[in-house]
Chain A
């Protein structure tokens, strides 16, 4: 049957559907970049098939998910330089319930490293006393990339990214804790936002002790496939008392 063999049209449809694996998938990806007509055909297939998406049943996500999203909203780049943006940024910081000691410590450090940042304005927030918070300055070749602050009492880890930490769409930055003398354990992939707020499970929380290292590696989109870092480490630092 002549129509059984692969043609550019069927290959584009197969790629749009996500059917291809291994070498076939790699070749199609290369073609997508190199052959505009093929890319256009893939786009046409996506358009043709798009209405199928709605055949998945609607299922209510658990309550509280919106709150998790809201705490991660940062101002869009276009709005960065106006007063509304500043207020929003402050609101994001203020909206963290608890863990303010850790945040204040982290912001104080930001003050030292990034004197131009406007986040410093929150440093005046009254801080509650929380037991032994810790901080790790994640650096790369002398430049500070991320400040991680850890509040053991609340099991809350807050990351602040003062500068740009570029990541291309095909990769994720993955966060690791490496206990002294131990193996790296993933804390999950980082969102492409200026800050991240996570509550750790007991099994992970116990690893965040003085002297443990926090590191970020570049991994395939969605995180390391192996459970261990596979890509270059772009920043790391040791946890110390804040």
Chain B
């Protein structure tokens, strides 16, 4: 899939300057506001894209983006370059915050507890060191999945879609969607761990 390859190549370009971003994060951890501003200038478009894609609402995406950088300011010292790349760390915070906001919206149907969903684990979430090899392996392994499983997994990750939403979107019963994704996940894991 060309589109998928292109976007994954986009990651690789980001990865070509992890040293610079990691240095900026280090400076931000030392309360250097100019460093945070540089981080904002080089990453805000990417992170805003993530927030906007998940939230589909500009005002909310801007609020969340603001929270993300305030969170980065507070937590820059906890970034560990040996555990994840800076852009992935930043993007994960953006995704988790957006998902939280998305879930908070859905509460009436799901009960209050559903709001306390995504722990903002930050870097400790990454037990896998992300390298260019990991990125290209993920791309290759996703390509090996059935297209319906690949589409559903991508949509869950990038659009915040839940099982009931995916089943409705595809017009299939919930157990069918679960079965597609579970098989996809097992196959993906098998492929990634080869």
In chain B between 115 and 134, which residues have their CB closer than 8 angstroms to a CB of chain A?
Answer: 115-121, 124-128, 130, 134
Distance, CA A104 to CA B156, complexed state (A): 49
Most chain B Cβ neighbours within 10 Å, of A19, A62, A84: A19
Chain A contacts for B103, CB-based, 8 A: 18, 222
Q: A44-B128, A55-B154 are in contact. Are A13 and B185 (CB under 8 A)?
A: yes
Q: Contact between A21 and B62 (Cβ–Cβ < 8 Å)?
A: no
B181 with A69: CB separation less than 8 A? no
Q: Are A21 and B110 in contact (CB under 8 A)?
A: yes
B86 within 8 A of A: no
Contacting residue for B101 out of A14, A20, A222, CB 8 A: A222
- CB-CB under 8 A from B74, the residues of chain A are 76, 192
B185 touches A43 (CB 8 A): no
Contact of B112 with A225 in the complex, beta carbons under 8 Å: yes
- Inside 8 A of B113's CB, which chain A residues have their CB? 26
Contact of B40 among A1, A20, A46, A69 (CB under 8 A): A69
Which residues of chain B have C-beta atoms less than 8 A from A20's C-beta? 162-163
Report the bound CA distance from A29 to B114 in whole Å: 10
CA distance A40 to B128 in the complex (A): 11
B11 within 8 A of A: yes
Chain A: number of interface residues, binned into ranges: 35 or more
State the CA gap A66–B182 with chains docked (Å): 41
Taking a contact as CB atoms under 8 Å apart, the answer to whether B162 and A48 are in contact is: no
Q: How far is the CA of A65 from the CA of B29 in the complex (A)?
A: 21
Q: Which residues of B contact A56 (CB under 8 A)?
A: 46, 49-50, 53, 158
Taking CB atoms, residues of chain A closer than 8 Å to B182 are 3-7, 10, 14
Interface residues of B in 134-163 (CB under 8 A from A): 134-135, 138-139, 153-154, 156-158, 160-163
| Contact mask for chain A residues 10-26; partner B; CB cutoff 8 A; 1 contact, 0 none | 10011001111110011
Asked if A17 meets B40 with Cβ closer than 8 Å, knowing A50-B92, A76-B29, the reply is no
The answer to whether residues A220 and B69 also contact, given A19-B162, A21-B164 and a CB cut-off of 8 A, is no
**CB-contact partner of A17 in B45, B52, B125, B156, under 8 A:** B156
Could you tell me the distance between the alpha carbons of A181 and B126 in the complex, rounded to whole angstroms?
51
7 A–B contacts, CB within 8 A, in A order = A26-B113, A43-B127, A47-B128, A56-B158, A69-B40, A222-B101, A225-B108
Can you name 19 extra interface pairs (CB under 8 A) apart from A56-B158, A66-B41, A222-B115?
A13-B185, A21-B114, A22-B111, A26-B114, A43-B125, A43-B126, A44-B128, A51-B11, A52-B138, A52-B154, A55-B4, A59-B45, A65-B62, A69-B69, A73-B36, A78-B31, A170-B116, A191-B66, A193-B70
Closest 8 CB pairs of A and B: A220-B115, A225-B107, A47-B128, A222-B104, A170-B116, A58-B45, A54-B11, A13-B185
